Structure 1
Amino acid sequence: MEHLGWVSLIPPILAIVAALITKNVIISLFLGTFSGVLILASGMPLSATKTIIGDYLFVQLTDSYNAGVLVLLVFIGGFVALMEKSGGAAAFADKVLRFLNTKAKTQLAAWFGGIIIFFSDLGTPLLVGPIFEKIFDKAKISREKLAWIIDSTASPVAVLIPFIGWGVYIMGLIKKEFDSLKITETDWDAFIQAIPFQFYPILAVLMVPLVAITKLEFGPMSKAEQRVQQTGALFWPSSKPMRKPDNMAELQNTKSKASLIWVPLLVLLVTLFGMLIPLGFPFKKIDGSAFRVALTTAYLFAALVLIAMMVIYKVKKFGEVFDIYLSGMQRMMTVATILVLAWSLGTVMKNLGTAAYVVELMDGNIPGYLIPAILFVSGACMSFATGTSWGTFAIMMPLAIPMAVHLDASIYVCIGVVLSGGIFGDHCSPISDTTILSSTGAGTDHIDHVKTQIPYALLNGFSALAAFLIAGATSSVLSLGAAIMIMVVTVIILSKRKKSGYIEVQS
């Protein structure tokens, strides 16, 4: 395996350091990519600049696969914006409010609502949070609990879905590495096979009903629940609740129909599978371009149906609806830029032999079964420090997949590790956008949300880490069962040890 030695580590390290300093994924990926091209250009800045534009950025944009992914992301962005502004989520919630007569049902309803809004990780906090805020107050459930629930059903749910923006982005990263390594398996198949190894997202989603049904709580969350139940105080005296953005009031006051949520999603799924089944799905391998065409068509048809429904039900005027659609498309330009830079960084690292150098350092020095655990901890630390899971995926995937191939580890486990580590760190990070939006959506103090969520996140993280040690040795999906068992047993033990008692608060 050819490489340039330790200098091949400069691009990923610089990208990580820049992300820590700037908190900006685009700047970080560009600096990492440019540094690599500068090395390849023998330190000549002008030549490196021409090379990065002509041989990397342009090449990524003109590649047919990459172009298909970018077009698909644009259509997804338009559809998501329509769904967020339609008011359908609020109308859907109104339909089920009369059934929420217990604390458990109320929490499960918010959990289910977060899963329903799977198409937008940022939409979940801003749609589900305001809807359930007053319901939780009436049921004497803490705002911190609501923030935790919507945070646990935002990115942890989105990262498990292959046919939304998250899945498309991740499969784009996987495809780039598969092409470099001449792996013939499709990115779709690899993503699906890796889902059972996304231990942390799965645990984060499953812990919500476990806590809701069993009432097993611990740490600061237990104190927050006691505060609300014993005194009725929504916040601690020192708390500073996040203000709601203006558009939340608009969403809550929008006259809409519940059908604006489920009908477009039904159209999307029927169109998608209606185009794939004649091609042999799910029993035959589907060409990647055919899948992307089907998915793009499905999002287009779903958007057209939703636009028509919003106009017919007089939710918005046609001009306003079309502007929303276009604004959603424009919003995906940032994602597209990140993806192009991520592809470019991956190509630079391949040309430098970064993965080959890392593999050479580890080969014979570190047992293969430890590779998933090392990748998980590394990804989690990076994501926590930067507050971004997507940036973590972009940097870690070009390292993890080649390592899996050359060190004879499971590719599916290593893909699941990268995704789990990114979500774990992002879930704990106080500077993560989903963490901030969850505090905002629930109308609670941001630091209170972070403090009450971290113990749950750490429990799931340690459970996932233990399971990755098992998965590294066995590559078996049964390790997911081990992760779930560890989580459940630990929750029960911690809950039995929690201290109960009156907590003094000021109204």
Structure 2
Amino acid sequence: MDYLLPLSPSLLALFLAFTTRRVILSLFCAVLLGSFILHDYAPIESVIAVYKDGIFNQLKGSNAQIIIVITIISGFIYLLESSKAMTAFSQSITRYVSTPAKLKTGTWLSGIAIFFTDSGNSLILGPIYRPLYDKMKICREKIALIIDSTSSPVCVLIPVISWGVYSMGLMEKAYTNVGLEKDGLALFKEVWLFQLYPLLTLIGLFFIIVFGVNLGKMKQAQQDCETGKSEYLAESDITTNDSVNPLIDMNAVQQYGAKTVALALSSLALCMAALFFYFTRGVSGSAEAKLVGSEIRTALAVSYSVASVITILALSRFGIRKMSASADSFFQGMGKITSILCILLLAWTLSDILKALDTGAVIATMLQQLNFPIWLLASTIFIIGAFLSIATGSSWGTFALLIPIVAPIAYSLDASIILCFAAALSGGLFGDHCSPISDTTVLSSMSSGVNHINHVETQMPYAMTTAFFTFIGFILASITGSNLTVLIMASAMGSFYFLYSKSQQGKLTHENNLS
């Protein structure tokens, strides 16, 4: 019974997430239960404390800065997406495509290039590349795989977009709550090399393209495509980014859209670089000065604000859209992030409650009594995160559920908090990548013109292969602590795909013969 109370908020959050698939509801109920426990089950005091001592208490300092930064970034992303300029930017890349190998590589590179949006990646690339895949007789399931594998797996690795700011906020809060001090960017940099699932997904995708690997039902999908037996969605049923907007001049988009995106991204990069230089050398005059969290967030907020203004002016100057319409899109984009901000606030509140209940130490004590091997901790967190994210279809929700819990557990067991953070991120990403109810999975299949279940079934063998090497990688990293773990596992995965492709040499498809 002594163990049950400190564990109950975490267990309730996980149980509700699995059963209801409602992350906000799950987190709120867990916070409410934790508040009841901390206030001796006094109903009025407990409910008041949820807001007064919990949620409202998060709206200050670095937390408030993170919320503002994420909101501005969301506005900038929607501004570009809604202007159709990203579509023109991507279309400019397709002129270099002439063979199946170049086509698949071009899709892979385009997916990586559109790094600041996961759902936008699918909506932009699907309509552009789909006709080329049909022309070269490469199954649409392959384009869905490539698009899906370069959406969220890329976003989670970028610190200067909403994904990075969100995860940094969760990690910094959890790290601080165990009595340690380190800003979010420093934590992100340490975690980056151990984000095995997204890194191996991107590297593995390159091997899949180079070696022409068709696993499981992908092989049948390619054969059906070559023989004309594929049953793809009708054009009227395909979700695309091509809807006509009367406020946008599509002729101007075709002519100046790519230039607008290039101008927006270059101004963003230039402003960010200038501010980072100012904060490190301009203020102190020393090359040894280090960025602190508030300066990083200030640089991001100012840079995205400046880039947004320049984008609005450019869209107007090139005749693509009026400034008033662009400004409206920017503010609409800011509003689209509301649910994410709710998740973030509740996750921070739950983190404080778990700290007050000493949940991490309780779980650590239980694991020690069970003689649980510490070298299995990160891999276990990855598996839990994978199941949770598949059930909820939400990587961000999984991050919010797991990160506040794993930090105190790792700290109490003297395990690597960095590795456990990476495992939570990797596990959360797995479901976002391949869960049937994940938004990026749905958008990837629809924009590619593929039956949704066909996409899930053809992608799953690749995702499971990556998950296997990720699981082994976390065990290896836990034992050795080596920063080279991702390279070792990437080499092993590359060898697997190479040997598999060799075993299929007598069964080469049209796609591979033309590579």
Interval of TM-score (by shorter of Structure 1 and Structure 2): over 0.9
For structure 1, list consecutive stretches of 5 or more residues without a partner in the other structure.
none
Equivalences for residues 226-375 of structure 1 within 5 A: 226-229=223-226, 231-235=227-231, 243-245=237-239, 247-250=241-244, 254-255=250-251, 256=253, 257-280=257-280, 284-363=289-368, 365-375=371-381
CA distance in 1, matches of 2:458, 2:63: 41
Deviations 1:233-267 (A, max 9, x none): 4426xx78893347533389833221222221111
What corresponds to 1:149 in structure 2?
146
SS in 2 for 1:366: coil
Q: Counterparts in 2 of 1:182-221, with a 5 A limit?
A: 182-221=179-218
- Per-residue CA deviations over 1:154-212 (Å, capped at 9, x if unaligned) read 11000000111011110111111122122122211110111110011011111222122
Structure 2 equivalent of residue 45 of structure 1:
43
* 8 Å contact from structure 1 (residues 241, 445) kept in 2: no
Deviations 1:42-95, CA, capped at 9 Å, x for gaps: 22222211110111011011x211111111111011100011122222222332
Alignment of 1:66-81 (within 5 A): 66-81=63-78
Q: Deviations over 1:80-138 (max 9, x none)?
A: 00111222222223323222100011111111111111111111111111111111111
Secondary structure in 2 aligned to 1:248? Answer: coil
* Gap change, CA 1:266 and 1:234, over 3 Å in 2: farther
Q: Identity over the aligned pairs, expressed in percent?
A: 35
Q: Is the Cα–Cα contact under 8 Å of residues 127 and 240 in structure 2 kept in the other structure?
A: no
TM-score by length of 1: 0.93
Partners of 2:345 and 2:2 in 1: CA distance: 24
Equivalent residue number for residue 58 of structure 1: 56
**What CA distance in whole angstroms lies between the structure 2 residues aligned with 1:487 and 1:502?**
22
The number of aligned residues is 497
Q: Which amino acid aligns with 1:317?
A: K
2:322 aligned partner, one-letter code: K
Give the conservation status (yes or no) of the 8 Å contact 1:143–1:234: no
Q: Name the CA distance, whole Å, in 2 between partners of 1:285 and 1:166.
A: 23
Mapped partners of 2:44, 2:156: distance in 1: 39
Give the direction of change, closer, same or farther, for the CA distance of 1:453–1:31 in structure 2 (3 Å limit): same
Structure 2 unaligned residues grouped into runs of 5+: 282-286, 511-515
Aligned to 2:23: 25
Of residues 117, 126, 129 in structure 2, which corresponds to 1:129?
Answer: 126
* Structure 1 position 459, deviation (Å): 0.2
Q: Matches of 1:246 and 1:417 in 2, distance apart?
A: 34
Query: Which amino acid in 1 is paired with 2:428?
Result: G
Map 1:399-414 → 2, pairs under 5 A = 399-414=405-420
Distance 1:502 1:94 in 2: 27
8 A Cα contact 2:122 2:440, kept in partner: yes
CA-CA distance at 1:501 after TM superposition: 9.0
CA shift in 2, pair 1:69/1:494, >3 Å: same
Paired amino acid for 2:237: R
Secondary structure of 1:363's aligned partner: helix
The CA deviation at 1:4 is 5.4
Q: Which residue of 1 aligns with 2:433?
A: 427
Q: Distance in 1 between matches of 2:260 and 2:228?
A: 36
* 450, 471, 488: which one aligns with 1:482: 488
Are 1:418 and 2:424 an aligned pair?
yes
Are the counterparts in 1 of residues 119 and 440 from structure 2 also a CA contact under 8 Å?
Answer: yes
Of 275-284 and 433-442, the range deviating more from structure 2: 275-284
Of 205-214 and 137-146, deviating more is: 205-214
Match of 2:453 in 1: 447
What TM-score, normalized to structure 2?
0.92
CA contact (8 A) 1:375 1:417 kept: yes
Deviates more, 1:489-498 or 1:241-250: 241-250
Shift of 1:444: 1.0
Distance in 2, matches of 1:397 and 1:338, equals 13
State the match for 1:464 in structure 2: 470
